[in-house]
C-alpha cells in the first residue's frame, strides 16, 4: 500500500524548516509534489514521501542553505 501524501506543513515539521522553504524546494524541483488544484489560482501541494531527503542529503542541504545565506 502506498504511503499517504504529505502537506507542506507536515514536511516542514519533519525537516525542521518552514513551510515556505518546502514550497521553494517544490518549485526548485528538490521535492517531488503533486498539485491537487491544477486549474486553480493557488496550488494545493502534496509531497511524495519517497522524495524526502535522507540524513546525508539533509546535512548537505543545511550546508548549502547556510552557504547561500552568507553569500558564498
Domain borders along the chain are 8-69
Whole-number Å distance between alpha carbons of 2 and 50: 10
| pLDDT of the residue at 65 | 80
**Which set of grid coordinates corresponds to residue 38?**
491544477
**Model confidence pLDDT, tens digit, residues 2-52:** 678 999 999 999 888 889 999 999 998 889 999 999 998 899 999 999 888
Please list the alpha-helical segments (H only) found in 1-72. Answer: 8-15, 19-28, 55-69
Whole-number Å distance between alpha carbons of 42 and 36: 10
Whole-number Å distance between alpha carbons of 59 and 53: 9
> Which candidate, 55, 56, 35, places its Cα nearest to that of 44?
35
Higher-confidence position of 4 and 64:
4
Amino acid at each position: 500500500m502506498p504511503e499517504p501524501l504529505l502537506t507542506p506543513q507536515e514536511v516542514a515539521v519533519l525537516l525542521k524548516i518552514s513551510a515556505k522553504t518546502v514550497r521553494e524546494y517544490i518549485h526548485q524541483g528538490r521535492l517531488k509534489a503533486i498539485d491537487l488544484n491544477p486549474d486553480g489560482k493557488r496550488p494545493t501541494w502534496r509531497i511524495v514521501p519517497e522524495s524526502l531527503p535522507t540524513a546525508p542529503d539533509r546535512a548537505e542541504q543545511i550546508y548549502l542553505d547556510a552557504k547561500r545565506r552568507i553569500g558564498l
